[in-house]
Amino acid sequence: MATMDKTEKITYIILVILAVAALGFTIYSAFFAGSGSAVNSQAGAVYVGSSAYNKAIAAENPADKCAVPEGYDEQSWKEHMSHHPDRYKGCL
């Protein structure tokens, strides 16, 4: 068996580092990325992550999705609707 030269060793080390980084990113994404976090704003707590959409949908008035729901001010609700023009096209 031939011995590896310095360039081959460096190449393998870089590949191992990239593989470990990819695995770490995958584990982080699977366990922590969807948890969301709260960020302070003028309107109170704004949820960042997948829970933001779910929170807004849960607050939405089923009889009138354009009406400002409890827990939102008019400006923040308009901002939310502008991010989902396909859902709120009649409201904007």
Q: Which of 16, 15, 48 is nearest to 33 (CA)?
A: 48
> Is the per-residue pLDDT at 82 higher than 80?
yes
Q: What pLDDT does 34 receive?
A: 57
Comparing 68 with 31, the larger pLDDT belongs to: 68
Q: Does residue 6 register a pLDDT over 50?
A: yes
Answer whether residue 55 is part of any domain. Answer: yes
Residue 71 has pLDDT above 70, yes or no: yes
Expressed as residue numbers, the domain containing 44 is 37-82
Domain count, the chain: 1
3-state secondary structure 20-47: HHHHHHHHHHHHCHHHCEEEEECCEEEE
Is residue 58 included in any domain, yes or no? yes
Flag whether the pTM goes above 0.75: no
pLDDT of 90? 87
In the chain, % of residues over pLDDT 90: 24
Residue 47 belongs to some domain of the structure: yes
